[in-house]
Amino acid sequence: MSSKQLIVIGGGAAGFFCAVNAARLHPGLKVSILEKSSKVLAKVKVSGGGRCNVTHNCDSINEMAKKYPRGDKFVKKAFHHFFTTDTIEWYKQRGVELKAEADNRMFPVTDSSQTIIDCLIAELNRYGAEIWMNTDVKEIVVNSSVGNGEAQSNTESDQKNNAAARFTIKSADGKIFEADAVCVACGGFPKSSMFDWLRQLGHSIEEPVPSLFTFNMPGNAITQLMGVAVSDAQVRITGSKLVSSGPLLITHWGMSGPAVLRMSAMGARDFAAVQYKFTAVVNWVPEWNENSLREEMQRLRFELAAQKMGQRNPFQLPQRLWDYLLQQSDVKADMRWADLPGKEQNKLIKNLCAQEHAVNGKTTFKEEFVTAGGIKLSEVEASTMQSKLVPGLYFAGEILDVDGITGGFNFQHAWTSGFIAAQLSGTV
């Protein structure tokens, strides 16, 4: 039986998945999770409104990889080792059934994130892994002669013959741990300086910027419609090729919802570069453009001639939004469709298909907070998650420079990278 030790830094989705699978796949391996806070699986708990968007219903690796603005080539390689279908089967074997919703997001049939948490904790207990809470790792020291850049010069037998543990891990409160392998799965960091303990190991960091956030529109009249949701809208950014479609939610600070969150992920670095000041153009009726809607308006004015515009909303938009769009277009609610002047009609068409909104700032989407940036992917082997610089050092989850749009993609990366790291981290 092995007496080797694996330390997993981080008690989130990727860290837990690495720990439980390493303990299961390598009997006798001592596995410990070091978690800096007093809670494990915190993001799992709150994600998807407390339901946990476990993965995405997609069986095409090529299509799935396109959902990662950063790291698409990396995850494409990794998905060949553990994919969405494997995630579904893994949980199914442990009594957790997943269901796909209309937009292909997948949740436990219980609609409760606690189901996923209970499953992972049960698995951890089954295989005897341990958790150290309130343990904030500040340094990893490489003890053996196998160090940075020396991976090629040390044979497997040489590594096994090292009597001393390969790594010493030091926490902020003075705890000391020794390990033969370490998997760093502590999530992303908002500040570059927070990666310094990993830079000390020779790794490079892609500068972190927020990935999933809402658009702030201070002073914009549309914020008076907070709580109004549109099932399908299109958002594009002036001066760029960024376009996103889907549900849009108006909030007291601006705009949110999947269409905006996807956009924020796709343009994370671009938005950071302009300090979150840009213009978003919204098409509230994406089945039309300005030209096609102009033709449609002629038909509507004929068919709805005697009806008042405020009382007859032909686009199935929420009434509060329709009232706002009429007001913004200088159209009185009691005006008949037949009496709509050309000038006001053009304003209404513009506001329906291409309404411009100045964005000035962001608000982090707390439940799905994701950071773009992290460990440079050229320094990690996608098929093993092992560092190319430090043998025995693995990475999983958001600490890597991989992030996906909202919809279960970030969790799938967590399961995939955690599982791959678990397969080999117990053999070092």
Instruction: Report the CATH number at residue 39.
Output: 3.50.50.60
Task: Assign 144 a pLDDT band (cuts: 50, 70, 90).
Answer: low
Q: Give the pLDDT of residue 160.
A: 41
> Mean of the per-residue pLDDT values for the chain?
93
Which conformational region is residue 50 in: left (phi greater than 0), alpha (psi within -120 to 50 degrees), or beta?
Answer: left
Answer yes or no: do 276 and 402 share one domain. Answer: no
Q: Give the pLDDT of residue 149.
A: 38
Answer yes or no: do 186 and 233 share one domain. Answer: no
Per-residue pLDDT for 147 more than 80? Answer: no
Answer yes or no: do 54 and 136 share one domain. Answer: yes
Rounded to the nearest 10 degrees, what angle do helices 113-126 and 13-25 cross at? 30
Position with higher pLDDT, 395 vs 369? 395
Q: Give the pLDDT of residue 395.
A: 98
Answer yes or no: do 200 and 57 share one domain. Answer: yes
Per-residue pLDDT for 355 more than 70? Answer: yes
- Across 351-367, average pLDDT: 88
Q: Give the pLDDT of residue 148.
A: 41
- Among residues 334, 364, 394, which one ends one of the domains? 364
Dihedral of CA 96/97/103/104: which sign?
positive
Answer yes or no: do 126 and 55 share one domain. Answer: yes
Answer yes or no: do 359 and 404 share one domain. Answer: no
Task: Say how far apart CA 38 and CA 133 lie, in whole Å.
Answer: 6
Concatenating the DSSP letter of every residue in 68-107 gives: -SB-HHHHHHHTTTS-HHHHHHHHHHTT--EEE-TTSEEE
Tens of pLDDT, residue by residue over 37-72, are: 999 999 999 998 899 999 999 999 999 999 999 999
Strands 254-256 and 362-364: unpaired
Query: Which residue type sits at 138?
Result: K
- Among residues 364, 386, 412, which one ends one of the domains? 364
Backbone angles phi, psi at 386, to 5 degrees: -85, 145
Among residues of the chain, what percentage have pLDDT more than 90? 89
Q: How many helices (H) does the chain have, and how many strands (E)?
A: 14, 20
Task: Assign 365 a pLDDT band (cuts: 50, 70, 90).
Answer: low
Answer yes or no: do 355 and 373 share one domain. Answer: no
Backbone angles phi, psi at 71, to 5 degrees: 95, 15
Answer yes or no: do 92 and 180 share one domain. Answer: yes
Per-residue pLDDT for 156 more than 50? Answer: no
Answer yes or no: do 146 and 171 share one domain. Answer: yes
Which residues have a Cβ under 8 Å from the Cβ of 222 and sit 6 or more positions away?
250, 254, 255, 324, 357
Closest of 323, 363, 329 to residue 224, by C-alpha: 323
- Among residues 338, 364, 390, which one ends one of the domains? 364
Q: Give the pLDDT of residue 161.
A: 40
- Residue 243 pairs in a beta bridge with 236
Answer yes or no: do 201 and 223 share one domain. Answer: no
Which residues have a Cβ under 8 Å from the Cβ of 394 and sit 6 or more positions away?
18, 181, 182, 183, 184, 384, 385, 386, 387, 421, 424, 425
Closest of 174, 187, 179 to residue 41, by C-alpha: 187
Task: Assign 1 a pLDDT band (cuts: 50, 70, 90).
Answer: very low
Answer yes or no: do 296 and 402 share one domain. Answer: no
- Domains identified in the chain, total number: 2
Task: Say how far apart CA 288 and CA 352 lie, in whole Å.
Answer: 9
Answer yes or no: do 155 and 68 share one domain. Answer: yes
Tokens 């006001």 belong to residue: 344
Tens of pLDDT, residue by residue over 282-331, are: 999 999 999 999 999 999 999 999 999 999 999 999 999 999 999 999 99
Q: Name the residue range of residue 336's domain.
A: 213-364
Task: Say how far apart CA 40 and CA 15 lie, in whole Å.
Answer: 10
